[in-house]
Copies of this chain bind each other. A is one copy, B any other.
Amino acid sequence: MKLAQLAELVGGKLIGRSDREINGVSQVDLVRPDEVTFIADRKYLSLLEGKDPAAVLVGEQIEQISCPQVIVADPYMAALQLAGEFAPHECPPPGIDKTAVVHQTATIHETATVSALCVVEAGASVGAHTVLMPQVYVGPDAGIGEGCTLHPGTRIGERCVLGDRVTCHHNVSIGSDGFGYAQIDGAHVPIPQRGIVVVEDDVDIGAGSCVDRATFGRTIIGAGTKIDNLVQVAHNCIIGKRCLLVSQVGLAGSVTIGDDSIMAARAAAVPHARIGKKCIVGAMAAVRKDLPDGSIVGGVPAKDHMAWKREIVALDKLPQALKDLRRLSRRVEELEKGRDEGG
């Protein structure tokens, strides 16, 4: 694509020569001479040093940039649009691959795709326009809604239910057994885990993440919730709608989270913790007590994030404070000695 074409495509105004051939979009750190990049914030301008991009997408002309510029309303959105142009996403054609193993009692919608080496067990169903990429497993009586995409290695356990437009990335586990044991004569005897997982509409689940089936009843991931990679959701958790669970989050059994809450990276919660709506649990924080709606917390154990920040600052000063305390103690001793001698 020539630069002139590209500028037209994003509805931008081109400043500079227009004939360079462009083959892609890149973040500014890595941009090559045949790629465009974008500057959404001038603080990243220094990253352009030594680079020779074909052009830079900008919100307004930037004097310091010597290469061609394309002025657009939103450089980030324009870059996204171009990324889609250079690497369009192609949906595989519908149909059941001849190497897939689909039980005769399974129901596959005629517009669905079941790719190579998938297994769909007895009684399972796959909805319209859903794509099972290669090597996916759908267990007995599991139900997959419409418009879902299950990436290679996704495992859906028996009887689990996915709504519409659910995406599971590489090697996701839905409906593995919860970690429940009864101690009998010193041994850990497994408690049967016979509930299911319900993943509601518009949920994304990241690579390697695990959502365990309920002991009884349902583990629920609410509609519109997005889960990052390597997240653990234990049995009987009930996650609200439109929550974000960032990478490596760990939720113990029976945790409930209200709608629109965020668990930042590697945040955690103990069994049965009840986290309200619109809460923000900071990265690496560990929730030990119920949180009311709107809570913002940090730390281990989690506390109000302002209190936690004060703690962080105080901790920094602690080694010096201990020295000060010892010195003060000696001064008081001196004063006491003076008083006693004076008395």
Contact = CB atoms under 8 A, between A and B. Distances in A.
Interface of A: 24-27, 29-31, 35, 37, 79-80, 82-84, 86-87, 89-90, 97, 99, 101, 115-117, 119, 121, 133-135, 137, 139-140, 151-153, 155, 157, 159, 167, 169-171, 173, 176-177, 179, 181, 186-188, 190-192, 194-195, 202, 204, 206-208, 210, 212, 214-218, 220, 224, 226, 228-230, 232, 234, 236, 238, 242, 244, 246-248, 250, 252, 254, 256, 260, 265-266, 268, 270, 283-284, 286, 300-301, 303, 307, 310-319, 321-322, 324-325, 328-329, 331-332, 335-336, 338-339, 343
Contacts of A324: 325, 329
A247 B252 contact: yes
Contacts of A214: 27
- Chain B CB within 10 Å — which of A80, A217, A254 has the most? A217
Contacts of A234: 228-229, 247
A194 to B, nearest CB: 4
A113 B136 CA distance: 20
Given A256-B29, A265-B252, A268-B284, A170 B173 contact: yes
Contacts of A210: 170, 206-208, 229-230
Contact of A171 (B25, B119, B167, B173): B173
A183 B244 CA distance: 11
Contacts of A230: 208, 210, 230, 232, 250
Nearest to A334: B336
10 contacts: A26-B195, A27-B195, A31-B217, A151-B176, A155-B171, A173-B207, A173-B229, A232-B248, A307-B316, A311-B319
